[in-house]
Every structure is written in C-alpha cells, then in structure tokens.
Amino acid sequence: MLGRVEPEQLKSDLILPWVIQGFMLATLAAFLIVCIAFGDQIQEPLPEAQRVLIRTILYVVAIVTFPMTNLIRYIQLRLNQTMPYSQATPGMDDCLDAGGTTPGKGEVESRPEQRSRATHGAVAEAKKRYLLTVIVSMSLIESVGIFGFVMFILGDNFNTLYIFSGLSALGMFLYRPKVDEYAKIVEALSTEKHE
C-alpha cells in the first residue's frame, strides 16, 4: 500500500461515528423510558381497527427499511471508494512542488513527504464520507424505533413498543461503524490520490 495508515489511527477516526451511534441508542432508550414512566399520560388511544391498520403499515415499512438501508449503505460505501476528489478538495495543492507547478507523472511517487500529505488528505476525505454513510444508516434504522413510540402513543401496548425498539437496536448493531469498511475507503482514496 502506498500510504499506510496505522490501525490505531483508523480506530480513532471512528470515534465520531461511534458517538453518533451511541446518541441514536440513547434516543431509543429515552423513548422507552418516557413510555414506561409516563405511559398512561401520553397515550391518545385510537379505535382498534385504525391502530391495526397503522401498525400493519408500519410493520411493512420497518421490514422494507432493513434491505433498503442495506442497499443504500452498500451504494454509499462503493461511492465512497470510487467517487473522485473534486477540484475544490482541500489539500489538493499538497501535490504542488515548491515552484507552484504540478509535478510531472511519476514525480509524486518520488517524494515521501508529499505521499504522506496526500495520504492525510485521503484519510480526511474518507472520514467525511464514511461519517455521512453512518449518519444515513443510523437515521433510517432509528426511524423503526420511532414507529414503536408512535404506536404506543396511539394506544398500543408495550409489546409493540418493544418489538419496534428491538428491531431498531438490531439494525444499529448490523449497521454499526466498522473499521474494515473505513479502511477500504481510505485505501481506495489513497491509491487514487497517488495515481
């Protein structure tokens, strides 16, 4: 690999995505606590027939949300690896030589300090791209937990709340930030930066 990034650095770069996942889990826990503590006070029961219809629709949406989130995440990860840098990317002039001109083909490879700066730019770009992927995945999966909260407010029992919250927690586990996904993005962007 051209610009090797240490595994410890990769793990530390994922602190913000893990914080976002922790925030989403805390929000899910807050929904549960509010429902348990203030259950009777916040419920506005609908007639049973309407609740069953709404519950069925939300179950279908929740079931569709999982493969849709998986597909969106897969597409985002691939785009993170293959989407080229824009010309306005900060650090682009890191590859300029002291005279302010772009070095010829093959010159960048002969300069270790420029390779290091280019790798740093690739890591910063990968970090930004992966953070967006995590935010989108967690937001989609958090919506499943919100369905349970909504159904509880509409008069359903704790069972529905627990099912939707459990599905949401499972999704957060499945789509958690992963070092190997992030490392592939860093490697792809580093390789692109050096070509």
Query: Which band of pLDDT confidence, cut at 50, 70 and 90, is reported for residue 194?
Result: low
For residue 188, CA distances in Å to 162, 177, 180 come to 41, 18, 12
Examine residue 92 and state whether it is found in any structural domain, yes or no: no
Put simply, whether the predicted model's pTM sits higher than 0.75 gets the answer yes
**Rounded CA separation 53/154 (Å):** 12
Q: Taking the alpha carbons of 175, 177, 180, 182 in that order, is the dihedral positive or negative? A: positive
Residue pLDDT, tens place only, 19-57: 999 999 999 999 999 999 998 899 999 999 999 999 999
Examine residue 101 and state whether it is found in any structural domain, yes or no: no
Ramachandran angles phi, psi of 99, nearest 5°: -85, -5
Examine residue 155 and state whether it is found in any structural domain, yes or no: yes
Examine residue 132 and state whether it is found in any structural domain, yes or no: yes
Nearest to 129 by CA among 192, 181, 195: 181
* pLDDT for 8: 86
Count of domains forming the chain = 1
10 Å Cβ neighbour count for 12?
Answer: 10
Asked whether the beta carbons of 35 and 145 are under 8 A apart, the reply is: no
Burial class (CB in 10 A: 0-12, 13-18, 19+), 193: buried
Question: What dihedral do alpha carbons 104, 109, 110, 113 form, nearest 10°?
Answer: 110
End-to-end CA distance of the chain: 12
Examine residue 159 and state whether it is found in any structural domain, yes or no: yes
Examine residue 91 and state whether it is found in any structural domain, yes or no: no
* pLDDT for 109: 45
Domain that holds residue 138: 7-38+48-85+106-194
10 Å Cβ neighbour count for 1?
Answer: 11
Answer yes or no: is pLDDT of 115 > 70: no
Examine residue 99 and state whether it is found in any structural domain, yes or no: no
Burial class (CB in 10 A: 0-12, 13-18, 19+), 34: middle
Residue pLDDT, tens place only, 51-88: 999 999 999 999 999 999 999 999 999 999 998 866 44
Answer yes or no: is pLDDT of 92 > 80: no
Examine residue 97 and state whether it is found in any structural domain, yes or no: no
* pLDDT for 116: 57
What average pLDDT does range 148-160 have in this prediction?
Answer: 95
